[in-house]
């Protein structure tokens, strides 16, 4: 195993996807970082759609995220909504226009083509195995460096099934069927029972 080669391969794949994204988004006046924020908002739950969570997920500065959100809001891709319980908290809600844009360009065409080619074409890689290995790599990086996992709600130690529904054990708030399928900034990995 050569870590340098692994990093070079991951960097090159990321650069190819970003180059495709830049080309596609130029007509919308957007940069890839703005699309990344929009993507995050499409997969996070209602507890995690804040500027602070976007900042943490993307690993960017507050200033960069603030400008990113401003562009998305100005172009009509997101709306800001004050929290009903705490007016200091702002939620970012993706608009229909934002969902349409995301649906048009995610996932990447070049990635879709490469993975579909692997399913029966000439490419000799197993896309399912690649997904599994990348998931394990990400989990290892997050654990070793104490990064938040941003995992799916239903796989969280705080997720509780009660009566006919679900509750977040951290917030004590009810969870919808949609909430439990989305990622959360407060996610804590389940510990294995011995």
**In a structure prediction context, what are the per-residue pLDDT tens digits for the chain, which is 194 residues long?**
899 999 999 999 999 999 999 999 999 999 999 999 999 999 999 999 999 999 999 999 999 999 999 999 999 999 999 999 888 999 999 999 999 999 999 999 999 988 887 666 556 788 889 999 999 999 899 989 989 889 999 999 999 989 889 999 999 999 999 999 999 999 988 766 54
> What is the predicted pLDDT for the residue at 96?
98
Residue 68 lies in a domain: yes
- Which pTM value belongs to this model? 0.86
Are residue 87 and residue 172 in the same domain, yes or no? no
Residue 191 lies in a domain: no
> What is the predicted pLDDT for the residue at 63?
97
Residue 44 lies in a domain: yes
DSSP string computed for the chain: --HHHHHHHHHHHHHHHHHHHHHHHGGGT--HHHHHHHHHHHHB-TTS-SHHHHHHHHT--HHHHHHHHHHHHHTTSEEEEE-SS-TT-EEEEE-HHHHHHHHHH-S-HHHHHHHHHHTTSS----HHHHHHHHHHHHHHHHHHTT-----BGGGBTTEEEETTEEEETTT--EE-TTGGGSB-TT--BPPPP-
> What is the predicted pLDDT for the residue at 23?
93
Are residue 80 and residue 7 in the same domain, yes or no? yes
Residue 58 lies in a domain: yes
Residue 54 lies in a domain: yes
Are residue 166 and residue 95 in the same domain, yes or no? no
Residue numbers of the domain that contains 135:
127-181
Number of domains in the chain: 2
Are residue 7 and residue 88 in the same domain, yes or no? yes
Are residue 86 and residue 36 in the same domain, yes or no? yes
> What is the predicted pLDDT for the residue at 189?
84
Are residue 85 and residue 37 in the same domain, yes or no? yes
The enclosing domain of 101 has a CATH number of 1.10.10.10
Residue 26 lies in a domain: no
Are residue 38 and residue 92 in the same domain, yes or no? yes
């Amino acid at each position: 195993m050569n870590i340098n080669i692994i990093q070079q391969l991951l960097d090159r794949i990321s650069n190819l996807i970003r180059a495709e994204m830049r080309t596609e988004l130029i007509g919308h006046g957007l940069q890839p970082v703005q699309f990344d924020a929009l993507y995050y908002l499409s997969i996070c739950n209602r507890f995690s759609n804040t500027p602070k969570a976007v900042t943490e997920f993307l690993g960017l500065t507050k200033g960069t995220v603030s400008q990113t959100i401003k562009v998305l809001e100005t172009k009509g891709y997101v709306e800001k909504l004050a929290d009903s319980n705490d007016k200091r908290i702002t939620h970012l809600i993706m608009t229909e226009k934002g969902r349409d844009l995301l649906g048009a360009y995610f996932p990447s065409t070049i990635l879709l083509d490469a993975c579909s080619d692997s399913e029966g074409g000439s490419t000799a890689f197993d896309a399912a195995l690649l997904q599994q290995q990348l998931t394990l790599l990400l989990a290892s990086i997050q654990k070793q460096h104490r990064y938040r996992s941003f995992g799916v709600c239903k796989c969280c130690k705080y997720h509780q099934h009660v009566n006919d529904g679900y509750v977040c054990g951290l917030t004590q708030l009810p969870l919808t069927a949609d909430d439990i399928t989305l990622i959360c900034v407060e996610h804590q990995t389940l510990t294995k029972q011995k």
